[in-house]
Chain A
Amino acid sequence: MFYTVIEQIVNGIVSGSVYAIVAVGMTMIFGVLRAINFAHGEYYMLGTFGAWFAIDYFDLPYPAAIVIGVVATAVIAVVVGNFVMQRIVGAPAEAGVLATLGVALILQNTIILVFGGSYKFFSGGYIEPVSLFGFTLAEQRILIIIVGLIVFVGLELMVTYSRIGKAMRAVSQNIECCAVVGIDVRHVALWTFILGACLAALSGVLTAPVNVSVYGGMGELITFKTLPIIIMGGLGNVRGTFVAAMILGIAESLVATYVGLQFRDTVGFATLMLVLMWRPHGLFSAQARF
């Protein structure tokens, strides 16, 4: 009994890390653009498809597939960022919602049109099980947790010390003042968006060996799971987002085991609504800003 609980919590931490890597990107994009990115899960899907394409068509090894998946997504993100996301800066909230919904529709259905809507088998990755403190865990899951930690620490360092990181924080606090002191807001917005899309792609490629199946509609589910996380974490709050992602990952894994697998995908939004009634500004932010 106790053993199962621990095992489920470890599994929860793994999926929490996956969500966290996607969600930090989305929350940083919100911080800078003030727009919920409804297309964020689609970059997760694009990364996975890039890697699947590299393995299936060119027989490349998994590490190379990771790079290809992320780079392919980055290229698309540059295009979307230049033509869509930059224009959202300073637009009303509705414009952001609608424009990113449009981007999500275009990306998702283009992939379905090109590759077909069927499920595809993802064959790369490190799925050998290893024993660790009496638990058996696939290598890939350990890799996911480690990458999650690296991303978290890396982002914290970047946001605190680097020039672009400081600019991101500044923009998320006050766009007009940034423009006054000579920060190129559109430039910062573009780079934040590309970084976020790449993180989502990385998360997708890392999860693919665990989930095994790849399909065009997979991004939508990730978007719907990430939205509650970033709101619970407090929009634009990186640390809060990590904690919220872990909470959701563990909660989902426990609900799937003890309540029923079919309820797993509703945990996020159900928790979100309860949280919003109690603390409309998220769990970890001092006051409501958005």
Chain B
Amino acid sequence: MTSAASPAVRRGPDLRIPFGFALVALACVAPLFLGNYPLHAIIIALIFLLPAHGLNLLLGYTGLLSLAQAAFFGIGAYASALLAVHFGTPFYLNFLAAGLVTGAIALPLGIPALRLRATSFVMCTLGFVIIGQAIAKNWISLTRGDMGLAAIPKPYFALGPASFTVSGTVGFYYLVLAIAALATLAVYLIVRSPAGRNMIAIRENETLAESVGIPTWHYKLVVFMISAVFAGLGGSLYAHYLTVVSPLTFQMYYSTTMLIIVLGGGAGTISGVIFGSLLFVGLTEALRVAPELRMIAYGFFLLALVFYFPNGFAPLIGRFWSFLERRK
């Protein structure tokens, strides 16, 4: 796998920090000049950013290829939807509960799965998706089967006497933007901590990492759980945004999408994953590409990534930056 591209010796001020601030400022005022549809596309992209961050921790930093993100995404969506529909709990409770539930489910699933070698581990994580879908379809008394759960309320907050509902695209945009920013900050803190360096050590050489005293087994299990929590939180947002969940939430399609985001953006980089989710989810959603055409394009993207861009497309941007700086 890849490591973060290390910038060459720079002359002049680093352009990336002001650029980052400009991007954040732009994100804050985006609703002023974007129509509802592009905003919707960005919301979907930001929702997918959460499970993608999780997968990036797992695949990009710890080196474990997992297809289970769709399963945890679905579990989070269902957990949130069930709470909202049956108990009418407020959004922030559902959101936190979705994260806790997926984390708790990931523990017993991760213990046997992580004992397997590369190929078998991939298969096992794929099995989680298939079995998750079967449960969502067949546990009709709880999940209403193929009919799915509808009329999930839009997020509303009740703090003491004051309560307000986030309705409309603009309101939801700011909510998702705030959560995505917090999630990105969380990933940044994890990756920059000593734990993050240990994860990279496991990715590069697990045997060597273990020999210098890193408890690799615990690290892999905890990262697997954290990635599941991220996916569950994303699923919760998805359920509250679309207001319906169905067994189709457990689909290989979502796992593939998350893989494309992480690998396409650049596994093992945070900015790459943000770039990837905006490019692959936001752009295809905004362009209203027919689902079949989008999947065909994803297929060609995957092939191109494997054979021509093993570091993802984000390094191209890095090259563009250094090109700009050299010109100054």
Chain A interface (Cβ within 8 Å of chain B)?
Answer: 36, 84, 87, 91, 93-95, 97-99, 101-106, 108-110, 112-113, 117, 220, 224, 227-228, 231, 235, 260, 262-263, 265-266, 269-270, 272-273, 276-277, 280, 288, 290
Whether the Cβ atoms of B123 and A272 lie closer than 8 Å is: yes
| B292 CB within 8 Å of chain A | yes
| B116, B130, B263 interface centre (most CB from chain A within 10 Å) | B130
Q: Does B279 contact A (CB under 8 A)?
A: no
On chain A, the residues within 8 Å of B119 by CB distance are 36, 93, 231, 235, 290
Q: Which residues B289-307 have CB closer than 8 A to chain A?
A: 290-293, 295-296, 298-303, 305-307
Contact of A99 among B123, B131, B296, B306 (CB under 8 A): B306
The complex places the Cα of A273 from the Cα of B110 at a distance, in Å, of 12
A177–B298 alpha-carbon span in the complex (Å): 37
Question: Does B65 lie at the interface of the complex (its beta carbon under 8 Å from any beta carbon of A)?
Answer: yes
Bound-state CA distance A102–B290 (Å) is: 17
| A103 contacts B130, C-beta separation under 8 Å | no
Residue in B127, B263, B305, B306 whose CB lies within 8 Å of A272: B127
Residues of chain A contacted by B120 (CB below 8 angstroms): 231, 276, 280, 290
Q: Determine if A113 and B112 form an interchain contact, defined as CB atoms under 8 angstroms apart.
A: no
Interface residues in B53-108 (C-beta closer than 8 Å to A): 65
Q: How far is the CB of B21 from chain A (nearest CB, A)?
A: 35
Q: Which residue of A lies closest to B135 (CB)?
A: A266
Q: B130: which of A224, A276, A290 is its contact (CB, 8 Å)?
A: A224
Cβ-defined contact, A280 with B116, below 8 A: yes
Q: Is the beta-carbon distance between B122 and A97 smaller than 8 angstroms?
A: yes
Minimum CB–CB distance from A288 to chain B (whole Å) comes to 7
CB neighbours (8 Å) of A91 from chain B are 306
Tell me whether B179 is interfacial, beta carbon within 8 Å: no
Set B112, B122, B296, B303: member contacting A273, Cβ < 8 A: B112
25 A-B pairs (CB sep. < 8 Å): A93-B122, A94-B65, A97-B65, A98-B305, A99-B303, A99-B307, A105-B298, A109-B296, A109-B299, A113-B292, A227-B126, A231-B119, A231-B120, A260-B138, A262-B134, A262-B137, A265-B134, A272-B124, A272-B127, A273-B112, A273-B127, A276-B116, A277-B112, A290-B117, A290-B118
Q: How far is the CB of A83 from chain B (nearest CB, A)?
A: 8
Q: How far is the CA of A99 from the CA of B301 in the complex (A)?
A: 10
Q: Judge whether A105 and B295 touch: CB under 8 Å.
A: yes
- When distances are taken between beta carbons in the complex, the residues of chain A under 8 Å from B228 are none
Picked from A104, A273, A276, A280, the residue with its CB within 8 Å of the CB of B299 is: A104
**Complex alpha-carbon distance, A242 and B131, angstroms:** 24
Please tell me if the beta carbons of A87 and B307 are within 8 angstroms of each other in the complex. Answer: yes
Is the pair B115, A280 in contact by a Cβ cutoff of 8 Å? yes
With a CB–CB cut-off of 8 A, which chain B residues contact A97? 65, 122
- B306 A102 Cβ-Cβ under 8 A: yes
Given A36-B122, A220-B252, the answer on whether A101 and B130 have CB atoms closer than 8 Å is: no
CB contacts (< 8 Å) of B184 on chain A: these are none
Cβ contact within 8 Å between A105 and B256: yes
- In the complex, whether B259 has a CB less than 8 A from a CB of chain A is yes
User: Would you call A105 and B126 a contact (CB within 8 A)?
Assistant: no
Nearest A-chain residue to B267, judged by Cβ: A94
Q: What is the minimal beta-carbon distance from B145 to any residue of chain A, in angstroms? A: 9
Question: What separation, in Å, do the CA atoms of A228 and B130 have in the docked complex?
Answer: 12
Interface residue from B134, B252, B300, B305 paired with A266 (Cβ < 8 Å): B134
Residues of B within 8 A of A87 (CB): 307
Contacts A94-B65, A97-B65 hold; do A36 and B302 have CB atoms under 8 A apart?
A: no
Which residues of B sit under 8 angstroms from A280, Cβ to Cβ?
115-117, 120
List, in ascending order, chain A residues with CB within 8 A of B127's CB: 228, 269-270, 272-273
Cβ of B112 to closest chain A Cβ, rounded Å: 5
- 12 more A-B residue pairs beyond the given contacts A109-B299, A263-B134, A272-B124, with a C-beta to C-beta distance below 8 A: A84-B303, A87-B307, A99-B306, A99-B307, A106-B296, A109-B291, A231-B119, A266-B130, A270-B127, A273-B112, A277-B112, A280-B117
- Bound state CA distance, A290 and B256, in angstroms? 23
Chain B residues closer than 8 Å to A99, beta-carbon distance: 302-303, 306-307
- Complex: A109 Cα to B134 Cα, angstroms: 23
A228 and B127 alpha carbons, distance in the complex (Å): 9
Chain B residues within an 8 Å CB radius of A260: 138
Knowing A102-B303, A112-B292, A263-B134, the reply to whether A231 touches B117 (Cβ < 8 A) is no
> Cβ of B137 and Cβ of A101 under 8 Å apart?
no
Q: Which residues of B contact A94 (CB under 8 A)?
A: 65, 118
Once the chains are docked, how many angstroms separate the CA of A265 from the CA of B129?
A: 13
For the complex, give the distance between the alpha carbons of A97 and B126 in Å. Answer: 12
Residues 261-293 of B, flagged 1 when their CB comes within 8 A of A and 0 if not, give 001000000000000000000000000001111
| CB contact between B306 and one of A95, A104, A117, A290 (< 8 Å): that residue | A95
Nearest 10 A/B pairs, CB to CB: A102-B302, A105-B299, A106-B299, A269-B127, A109-B295, A266-B134, A109-B292, A102-B299, A102-B303, A113-B292
Q: How far is the CA of A16 from the CA of B127 in the complex (A)?
A: 20
Give the residues in chain B near A266, CB-CB below 8 Å: 130-131, 134
Q: A108-B295, A227-B126 are in contact. Are A98 and B118 (CB under 8 A)?
A: no
Which residues of chain A are within 8 angstroms of B138 by Cβ–Cβ distance?
Answer: 260, 262-263
